[in-house]
Amino acid sequence: MNADPGDAYDALIEFLYRAPIGLLQTTLSGEITMINPMSAQLLMPFVPDGNLLNLFDALEAAAPQLRRLAADAECGLVCEGLCVEQRASGERSHQLPRFLSIRMLKLAGGTLFASVGDITSAVRHETQRLDLERGVSRTDVLTGLPNRAVAMERIARAIARPAGDGAHRFAVMLVDCDRFDRVNVTLGAHVGDELLRLVGERLNAALRRGDGDDSDAHGAPVAARLASDQFVLVLQGMGEVDEARGIAQRVVDALARPFSIGEALVHITASVGVVLREPAGGNAEEVLLEASIAMHEAKRAGGARYGIFQPGMKQRASQRGALETDLRRAIAEDQLFVVYQPIVSLADVGCAGVEALVRWQHPQRGVVPPVEFIGIAEETGLIGALGDFVLREACRQLAAWRRDLGPLAPRGVSVNLSRAQLLAGPFIAQVRAALAASGLPARLLQLEITESLAAQGDEVIASLHQLKALGVTLALDDFGTGYSSLSSLHQMPVDVVKIDRSFVCQIESSGHHRVLVEATMMVAKSLRMGTVAEGIETTGQRDVLRSLGCDKGQGYLFAKPMGAAAATEWLLREVALVS
């Protein structure tokens, strides 16, 4: 006898509400959408006004970093065992503080799931034990390196030294392992721990220089572990900027070499933010923030490199932070919209489909181009919600055109995918849900990935095969600009190759580019793949591409990206003429 699904659901809800630990679910902005009684009981002492609608607001005083951690994290673990302290005040100031431990996960689409536990007894016991050991440890247990407290003392001491010539300069380098979370997820936490220990060893080795004076222990270079996969290097007696560049590159190169852990070879890279300055006031936190800004610039440039802090970076970081805040509001307040650029058949100039492109109608700035916000969306995890919006809207609009225009409707719709979307677990379900909600046949949806993304290993290829199993079409976008080649095209599970506009724009004047495009057409046809040329702007380009056998094209020669209403008028006018 099969169990009633309704009974199972009721049992799950009862378990959540009776669980002896706090469980809650929030939006990316912190709005609580589900909370069990234990969570409410544990969190309420932290909320003076009793307002428990938003988790980040409730813990703003006790854990102000939680909002930033959730925003910065990719899908997966946001924090594990974040200790939150609540101190009594006023009439209850004599009471001992309470401590909570928060573990938070970020799911695709921006949903946050957290568990909350009371660790007050454990913290008090540990504090008593440490007091008996006559002082707090200054060594990171996992790596054996000095810990954050030591690093901050060294930075503060460097700032406080008397200003002088270049020999008094100091450098602070923030080292962040690129995509370290993937090691924990794919190989296990024990491998991740061993990797961090080995990273610490290599950082120490990179600091051993024959030209430095290490006789003063306080002036010797030091490598310390800040937290998780972040390390900091503090170096005194820096001369010219080239010296700091040399050390930073040595660190990047050292961490790029594979690590042998058990029977596995683990490959990672690192992004390094470098601050080089003379003692000139300020504090250690400010210097570390500058190093963090430079490190994130290095990550945005692709990682596996270093960046030197420049004053302008701080302003750009502030602007990006403001834009991120605005983008979160844009997603919540429906400021995003979709435009459509026709893709035409070069044989008869009929509408073979449309490409859906996202735009942002900012209340003050007007329309914000995607080049300004797509990168931020990918870095902050907002790309999941943004991409889901475009996917659903594109499927809905094509279904509406098919219903209202019949044979004049586009024959398909293309939607771009990012790496973050493709590797997110729920993405396959999001595609299935968008198709089901719109009633659109899967064969009419084309998902586009860049050439460089398609070449990024087995995990990506596996996700592409899962998408093909749904019945959707896959296109390789911007072909010719990434890492693959014609010889590897057969290894990719794609149906369509899109020729990048950088080749199309020179196809009339450059025999070299014409030969490359022709070769691409021949290989694609031999693999039974369709071809689309991007960025067609002249009739000459169209005619050459048509003579080479290109199937379809898009570009300003035919139409610019348009809103749904304008695209409908274009279809009624242009497609009707062809028909």
End-to-end CA separation in angstroms for the chain: 59
Please tell me whether residues 90 and 186 are part of one structural domain.
no
In this prediction, residues 494-522 reach a mean pLDDT of 91
Please tell me whether residues 232 and 191 are part of one structural domain.
yes
Q: Taking the CB of residue 309, how many other CB atoms lie within 10 A of it?
A: 23
142 within some domain: no
Last residue of some domain: 106, 132, 158? 132
Q: pLDDT tens for residues 276-306?
A: 988 766 789 999 999 999 999 898 888 899 9
Last residue of some domain: 132, 157, 182? 132
What CATH number does the domain containing 571 carry? 3.20.20.450
Q: What confidence category does residue 439 fall into, taking pLDDT thresholds of 50, 70 and 90?
A: very high
Contacts of 241 (CB under 8 A, 6+ apart): 276, 308
What CATH number does the domain containing 80 carry? 3.30.450.20
Please tell me whether residues 399 and 283 are part of one structural domain.
no
Whether the pLDDT of residue 90 is over 50: the answer is no
Please tell me whether residues 547 and 454 are part of one structural domain.
yes
Please tell me whether residues 406 and 543 are part of one structural domain.
yes
321 within some domain: no
pLDDT attached to residue 572? 92
pLDDT attached to residue 478? 77
- Containing domain of residue 102, as a range? 5-132
Decide: 567 and 545 in contact? Cβ < 8 Å. no
> Can you tell me the distance from the alpha carbon of 291 to that of 297, in angstroms, rounded to the nearest whole number?
10
Please tell me whether residues 244 and 370 are part of one structural domain.
no
102 within some domain: yes
Span of 385-389, 391-395, 565-569 with lowest mean pLDDT: 385-389
Q: Taking the CB of residue 479, how many other CB atoms lie within 10 A of it?
A: 26
Q: What confidence category does residue 569 fall into, taking pLDDT thresholds of 50, 70 and 90?
A: very high
Please tell me whether residues 152 and 204 are part of one structural domain.
yes
Please tell me whether residues 193 and 280 are part of one structural domain.
yes
Strand, helix or coil for residue 275? strand
In this prediction, residues 400-410 reach a mean pLDDT of 95
More confident residue, 349 or 96: 349
Please tell me whether residues 480 and 336 are part of one structural domain.
yes
pLDDT over 90 for what percent of the chain? Answer: 46
> Can you tell me the distance from the alpha carbon of 470 to that of 436, in angstroms, rounded to the nearest whole number?
12
In this prediction, residues 394-400 reach a mean pLDDT of 97
Please tell me whether residues 156 and 200 are part of one structural domain.
yes
**Stated pTM of the model:** 0.58
Please tell me whether residues 157 and 122 are part of one structural domain.
no
Rg (CA), the chain: 28
H/E stretch holding 244 reads: helix 241-256
DSSP state letter for 350: -
Q: pLDDT tens for residues 475-495?
A: 988 776 544 456 667 778 899
What CATH number does the domain containing 195 carry? 3.30.70.270
137 within some domain: no
223 within some domain: yes
> Can you tell me the distance from the alpha carbon of 457 to that of 435, in angstroms, rounded to the nearest whole number?
28
pLDDT attached to residue 472? 97
> Can you tell me the distance from the alpha carbon of 570 to that of 258, in angstroms, rounded to the nearest whole number?
55
Please tell me whether residues 489 and 558 are part of one structural domain.
yes
Which range of 40-54, 488-502, 543-557 scores highest in mean pLDDT? It is: 543-557
Which range of 75-79, 345-349, 412-416 scores highest in mean pLDDT? It is: 412-416
434 within some domain: yes
557 within some domain: yes
